[in-house]
């Protein structure tokens, strides 16, 4: 299969990354020439706890197949309880997705550190694989 | 009346010099306590040396994963202000116990408020130089973001003075710029860059005296870069593809009219630059054709007139009208005719050279030394503007004559000039005329360029340069002797031009090719940026300038700098780090994965030969760490460590050392005498050492040798204080006056030292010491607050 064909078939993923911690790691995946799908689009935000559930729903309604939150974990520069807040946000968002008849599995969160390029690449590959499964269920 | 709180008068409570792990830690501690902190860092990102490391010992935690959150916290802390790419000039202790800090921010040539960190300038930049973040293991661009985790994540252009070729050109052309563009295959961009400075590219490519080539640093080696030939390649190629300019008059017009008297190089250039700004420009030329010296002073064979005509089209395409056979007799008349400013780009009267066409179509010159008998044609204006005794026009430094709306340049001002210098004057005149018409003050310092780069430093940097001979410029066949050799040379082919451009040494780093300017989406690039000086009042100072690494060149018997496969431990840490340059451990000479690696401990530590008898405290452990990481990264590799003693003194350190041994690292109790290259296996190295256990001299071969270099004091802060100096200990580290009882307290009351600026320390000890220094500074500030002013 050619790369172009792969690109068309792969699930479309929106990534929210945090500009202090996750973004450098994702950026480095590119600068180190690691491969991840061109169907992945990244938007950086200051802190993952500021993401709104409606944004995620809007992304899925606008044609994205999955939304991935690359969070800071305990490394957040702004809030000591960032992980807890983001956890609450993810729960709320998944409830919202269910209400709208969408699988909560289309939202995923993981901590991505400033050098976690390899783990980000593998997260993307696994998430895309899982989305294909959700779609076929 | 209540006592005045001194801290109200301060800009910041505490200034911390150095934003490595020590400075950041002190800043965060003090910021959390509510003190206002200024954190000054000389590099473009905070993070110091820790962000460069792979892992920390003995926990093997990821160093950059620990550093980045600290960096982000410091950058976003409401009480911490960071100034990067900044240096302290002087610190003065005032009588009331506060401090005056003089400092400056170095120009990054990128507006940090506009830069969005997208890295497009980096992709477009045409100059690659060794990457100091990777300790020269690979290359980076001059326009760059220091590393992906940089805080702030802003691009900088690291300029190392102006390249000698750019600096010397009297026309202001950027030879380094177009050379680097040709090297990158961007030939159209090279033409367009040249066009920024002058429309007379084809003419200059034949008739310029090429001072750039005389200044070229490559000339100190096997011959200078053939800059003029490269220029000719650019011009000829472009004119071949574009018989007419692909632009017209500027759409945004300005309502001022400018008269240019004389269509020589100065006049054409001034007209071109002003027309590009949207002014209505008319050139008056007494002769039948435009071009001045280039038309009448240079023989066809050297400067074919079709090339000159095409150059002139670059000017007329902008809507500039050239009235030939028109003599201007009165400046007042020009004013009456509605011209708001005048540029006198007058040439000299000259002896016309006579040319003869020969049967084979070539021309020959009959008059010897054409155009040599010259004097300025200024007579008609003698009543209107001041002239000097020799007939040249008197001007001030901004080329303005005694009549404010009249500016002058070229032969009429200086006497006979080269066309290159006349172009320069035309450009300057255009700048000052615009300033004049806009009502701005005229300031000659506006056009000041960066200082020239130090050629000797470039020569030293290029010590291991490979030889690339200059291209032999081929001669055209069947050329008559009179035509001269220069004229008869053939232009470079594209291959030759790119080869020649590749010989450039990028002396000043930035070539001024302006590709970054073209691609930057937020117009952040600013070549006019100057250092910004600040005077700041603070209550206390913490010195956290860290350490220097021992320069392995100082141990010549170990072959660092001579043999590519002898690297330092810092380079090995980079090869192992998550932000590593190659995604694998590779040896420099051939990119092979090494399978037999040796470490030599105590390089530059405990060594009176290099006047550093101290133990550096970290080398044994970082070497054991690197050995373990190598075994993880290259499971089949053999690792040998040559040591005098192993000093594993901290918590968990001895276990860490035993763990390395258990993994199969061969610890050899031996003192290394020298390292040489193997005569059999290319790139391999022979380590000769005294086996201290068996008491004999042995030799072993390895394919990569790592020198575990020690830590040296960073003495840069020691001369910072006005009227006093901060005391140093016997090893030149900043001295703690009572290291048992008062950590961080220096010989100057109110100045504290944190981390490795005081002694070689590992990361946990540095963090501990920085906390202590922060508390000392806080106590000092509280004392100050209690004082009555």
| Same CATH fold assignment for domains B6-106+532-546+714-785 and B257-357+370-447 | yes
Per-residue burial over B747-785, b if 16 or more Cβ lie within 10 Å, else e, is bbebbbbbbbbbbbbbbebbbebbbbbbbbbbebbeebe
Q: What is the pLDDT of residues B119-143, one digit of tens each?
A: 999 999 999 998 989 999 999 999 9
pLDDT mean over B625-630: 97
Could you tell me what percent of chain B has a pLDDT over 70?
92
pLDDT at B8 over 90: no
Residue B226, C-beta contacts closer than 8 angstroms, at least 6 positions apart: B213, B470, B471, B473, B492, B500
Domain B6-106+532-546+714-785 architecture: 3-Layer(bba) Sandwich (3.50)
| Burial (CB count <10 Å: 0-12, 13-18, 19+), residue B548 | middle
pLDDT value of residue B448: 81
pLDDT at B352 over 50: no
State the Cα–Cα distance between residues B692 and A67, nearest whole angstrom.
62
Q: Measured between CB atoms, which of B65, B76, B583 is closest to A114?
A: B65
pLDDT at B625 over 60: yes
| Domain B257-357+370-447 grouped into CATH 3.50.50.60 | yes
pLDDT band at B370 (very low <50, low <70, confident <90, very high): very low
pLDDT value of residue B787: 62
Q: Between residues B702 and B445, which one has the greater pLDDT? A: B702
pLDDT at B3 over 70: no
First and final CA of chain B: distance in angstroms? 12
- Quick check: A24 and B72 CB within 8 A? no
- Quick check: B75 and A20 CB within 8 A? yes
The string of DSSP letters for B304-319 reads -HHHHHHHHHHHHTTT
Q: Measured between CB atoms, which of B64, B76, B579 is closest to A78?
A: B76
Q: Measured between CB atoms, which of B64, B73, B75 is closest to A114?
A: B64
State which fold the B550-710 domain adopts: FAD/NAD(P)-binding domain (3.50.50)
Beta bridge partners of B91: B101, B721
pLDDT mean over B259-280: 96
Q: Between residues B158 and B18, which one has the greater pLDDT? A: B18
| Ramachandran class of B611: left when φ > 0, alpha when ψ lies in -120 to 50, beta otherwise | left
Could you tell me what percent of chain B has a pLDDT over 90?
78
Q: What is the pLDDT of residues B240-254, one digit of tens each?
A: 999 999 999 999 999
pLDDT value of residue B388: 82
pLDDT value of residue B365: 39
Residues of B in contact with A48 (CB under 8 A): none
Mean of pLDDT over chain B: 90
Residues of A in contact with B583 (CB under 8 A): 32-33
Q: Measured between CB atoms, which of B73, B76, B148 is closest to A27?
A: B148
pLDDT at B354 over 70: no
Which uninterrupted H or E stretch holds B756? none
Q: What is the pLDDT of residues B535-592, one digit of tens each?
A: 999 999 999 999 999 999 999 999 999 999 999 999 999 999 988 888 889 999 999 9
What are the residue boundaries of the structural domains of chain B, listed by start? 6-106+532-546+714-785, 257-357+370-447, 550-710
B532-543 vs B99-105, strand pairing mode: antiparallel
User: Rounded to the nearest 5°, which phi and psi values hold at B534?
Assistant: -130, 145
User: Rounded to the nearest 5°, which phi and psi values hold at B82?
Assistant: -110, 135
Residue of A nearest to B69 (CA): A75
Interface of A with B (CB under 8 A): 20-21, 24-25, 27-28, 31-33, 72, 75-78, 113-117
- DSSP three-state, residue B566: strand
Instruction: Please say whether the beta carbons of B269 and B198 come within 8 A.
Output: yes
Tens of pLDDT along chain A (137 residues) come to: 444 444 557 999 999 999 889 999 998 898 888 999 999 999 999 999 999 999 999 999 999 999 999 998 888 888 888 989 999 999 999 999 999 999 999 999 999 999 899 999 999 999 999 999 988 87
The residue among B327, B330, B346 whose CA lies nearest residue B383 is B330
The residue among B788, B538, B753, B541 whose CA lies nearest residue B13 is B538
Handedness of CA B418, B423, B424, B429 (dihedral sign): positive
pLDDT value of residue A1: 40
User: With a cut of 0.85, is the ipTM above it?
Assistant: no
pLDDT band at B302 (very low <50, low <70, confident <90, very high): confident
Q: Measured between CB atoms, which of B62, B69, B149 is closest to A77?
A: B69
pLDDT at B353 over 70: no
B62 Cβ under 8 Å from any chain A Cβ:
yes
Residues of B in contact with A73 (CB under 8 A): none
pLDDT value of residue B231: 96
- Quick check: B72 and A115 CB within 8 A? no
Q: What is the pLDDT of residues B17-52, one digit of tens each?
A: 999 999 999 999 999 999 999 999 999 999 999 999
To the nearest whole angstrom, how far is the Cα of A77 from the nearest Cα of chain B?
A: 4
What number of other Cβ atoms are within 10 A of residue B45's Cβ? Answer: 24
State the Cα–Cα distance between residues B75 and B158, nearest whole angstrom.
22
Tell me, letter by letter, the H, E, C secondary structure of B622-659.
HHHHHHHHHHHHCCCCEEEEEECCCCCCCCCHHHHHHH
pLDDT value of residue B254: 94
User: Is the peptide bond preceding residue B270 cis, with omega within 30 degrees of 0?
Assistant: no
State the Cα–Cα distance between residues B165 and B173, nearest whole angstrom.
9
Residues of A in contact with B579 (CB under 8 A): 28, 115
Q: What is the pLDDT of residues B376-432, one digit of tens each?
A: 667 778 788 888 877 788 889 999 999 999 999 888 787 777 899 999 999 999 999
- Quick check: B65 and A113 CB within 8 A? yes
- Quick check: A115 and B151 CB within 8 A? no
To the nearest whole angstrom, how far is the Cα of A34 from the nearest Cα of chain B?
A: 10
pLDDT value of residue A75: 84
- Quick check: A27 and B579 CB within 8 A? no
Which of B106-115, B452-461, B594-603, B659-668 shows the lowest per-residue confidence on average (mean pLDDT)?
B452-461
Q: What is the pLDDT of residues B433-490, one digit of tens each?
A: 999 999 999 988 888 888 999 999 888 877 667 788 888 776 655 555 555 544 556 7
């Amino acid at each position: 299969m050619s790369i172009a064909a792969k690109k068309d078939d792969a699930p479309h993923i929106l990534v929210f990354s945090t500009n202090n911690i996750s973004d450098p790691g994702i950026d480095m995946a590119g600068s180190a020439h690691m491969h991840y799908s061109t169907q992945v689009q990244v938007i950086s935000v200051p802190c993952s706890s500021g993401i709104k559930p409606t944004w995620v729903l809007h992304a899925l309604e606008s044609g994205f197949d999955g939304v991935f939150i690359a969070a800071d974990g305990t490394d957040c520069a702004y809030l000591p309880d960032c992980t807890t807040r983001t956890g609450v946000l993810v729960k709320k968002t998944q409830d919202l997705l269910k209400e709208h008849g969408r699988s909560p599995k289309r939202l995923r969160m993981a901590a991505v550190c400033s050098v976690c390029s390899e783990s980000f690449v593998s997260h993307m590959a696994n998430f895309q694989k899982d989305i294909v499964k959700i779609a076929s269920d | 009346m209540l006592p005045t709180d001194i801290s109200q008068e301060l800009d910041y409570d505490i200034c911390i010099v150095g934003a490595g792990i020590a400075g950041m830690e002190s800043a965060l501690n003090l910021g959390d306590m509510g003190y206002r902190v200024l954190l000054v860092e000389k590099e473009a990102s905070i993070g110091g040396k820790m962000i460069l490391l792979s892992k920390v010992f003995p926990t093997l935690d990821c160093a950059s994963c620990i550093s980045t959150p600290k960096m982000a916290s410091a950058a976003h802390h409401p009480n911490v202000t960071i100034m990067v790419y900044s240096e302290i000039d002087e610190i003065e202790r005032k009588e009331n116990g506060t401090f005056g800090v003089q400092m400056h921010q170095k120009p990054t040539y990128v507006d940090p408020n506009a830069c969005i960190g997208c890295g497009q300038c980096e992709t477009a930049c045409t100059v690659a130089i060794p990457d100091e973040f990777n300790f020269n293991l690979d290359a980076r661009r001059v326009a760059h973001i220091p590393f992906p985790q940089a805080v702030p994540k802003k691009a900088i252009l690291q300029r190392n003075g102006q390249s000698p070729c750019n600096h010397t050109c009297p026309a202001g052309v950027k030879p380094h710029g177009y050379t680097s563009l040709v090297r990158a295959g961007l030939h159209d961009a090279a033409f367009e860059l040249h066009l920024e400075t002058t429309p007379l590219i084809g003419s200059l490519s034949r008739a310029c005296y090429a001072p750039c080539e005389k200044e070229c640093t490559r000339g100190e080696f096997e011959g200078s870069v053939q800059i003029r030939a490269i220029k000719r390649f650019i011009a000829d190629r472009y004119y071949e593809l574009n018989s007419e300019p692909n632009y017209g008059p500027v759409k945004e017009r300005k309502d001022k009219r400018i008269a240019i008297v004389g269509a020589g190089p100065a006049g054409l250039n001034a007209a071109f630059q002003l027309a590009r700004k949207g002014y209505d420009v008319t050139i008056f030329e007494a002769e039948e054709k435009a071009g001045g010296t280039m038309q009448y002073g240079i023989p066809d064979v050297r400067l074919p007139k079709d090339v000159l005509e095409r150059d002139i089209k670059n000017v007329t395409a902008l809507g500039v009208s050239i009235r030939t056979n028109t003599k201007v007799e009165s400046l007042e008349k020009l004013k009456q005719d509605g011209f708001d400013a005048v540029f006198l780009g007058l040439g000299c009267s000259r002896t016309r050279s006579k040319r003869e066409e020969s049967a084979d179509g070539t021309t020959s010159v009959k008059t010897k030394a054409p155009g040599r008998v010259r004097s300025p044609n200024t007579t008609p204006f003698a009543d209107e503007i001041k002239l000097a005794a020799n007939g040249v026009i008197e001007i001030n430094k901004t080329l303005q004559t005694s009549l404010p709306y009249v500016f002058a340049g070229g032969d009429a001002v200086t006497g006979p000039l080269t066309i290159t210098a006349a172009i320069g004057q035309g450009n300057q005149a255009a700048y000052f005329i615009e300033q004049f018409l806009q009502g701005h003050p005229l300031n000659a310092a506006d056009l000041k360029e960066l200082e020239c780069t130090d050629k000797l430093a470039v020569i030293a940097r290029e010590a291991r340069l490979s030889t690339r001979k200059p291209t032999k410029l081929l001669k055209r066949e069947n050329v008559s002797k009179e035509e001269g050799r220069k004229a008869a040379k053939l232009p470079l082919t594209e291959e030759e031009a790119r080869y020649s451009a590749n010989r450039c040494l990028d002396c000043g780093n930035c070539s001024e090719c302006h590709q970054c300017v073209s691609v930057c989406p937020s117009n952040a690039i600013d070549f006019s940026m100057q250092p910004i000086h600040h005077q700041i009042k603070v209550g206390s100072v913490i010195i956290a300038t860290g350490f220097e690494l021992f320069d392995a060149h100082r141990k010549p018997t170990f072959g660092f700098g001579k043999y590519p496969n002898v690297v330092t431990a810092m380079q090995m840490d980079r090869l192992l780090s998550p932000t590593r340059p190659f995604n694998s451990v590779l040896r420099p000479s051939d990119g092979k994965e090494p399978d037999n690696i040796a470490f030599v401990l105590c390089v530059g530590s405990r060594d009176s030969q290099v006047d550093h008898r101290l133990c550096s405290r970290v080398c044994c452990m970082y070497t054991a760490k690197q050995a373990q990481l190598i075994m993880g990264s290259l499971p089949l590799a053999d690792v040998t460590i040559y040591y005098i003693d192993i000093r594993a003194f901290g918590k968990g350190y001895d276990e860490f050392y035993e763990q390395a041994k258990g993994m199969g690292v061969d610890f050899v109790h031996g003192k290394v005498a020298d390292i040489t290259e193997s005569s059999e296996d290319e790139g391999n190295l022979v380590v000769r050492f005294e086996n201290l256990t068996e008491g004999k001299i042995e030799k072993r071969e390895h394919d990569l040798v790592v020198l575990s270099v020690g830590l040296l004091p960073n003495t840069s802060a020691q001369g910072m204080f006005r009227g006093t100096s901060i005391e140093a200990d016997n090893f030149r580290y900043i001295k703690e006056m009572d290291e048992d009882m008062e950590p961080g307290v220096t010989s100057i009351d109110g100045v504290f030292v944190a981390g490795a600026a005081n002694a070689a320390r590992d990361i946990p000890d540095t963090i501990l010491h920085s906390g202590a220094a922060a508390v000392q500074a806080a106590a000092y500030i509280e004392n100050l607050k209690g004082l009555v002013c």
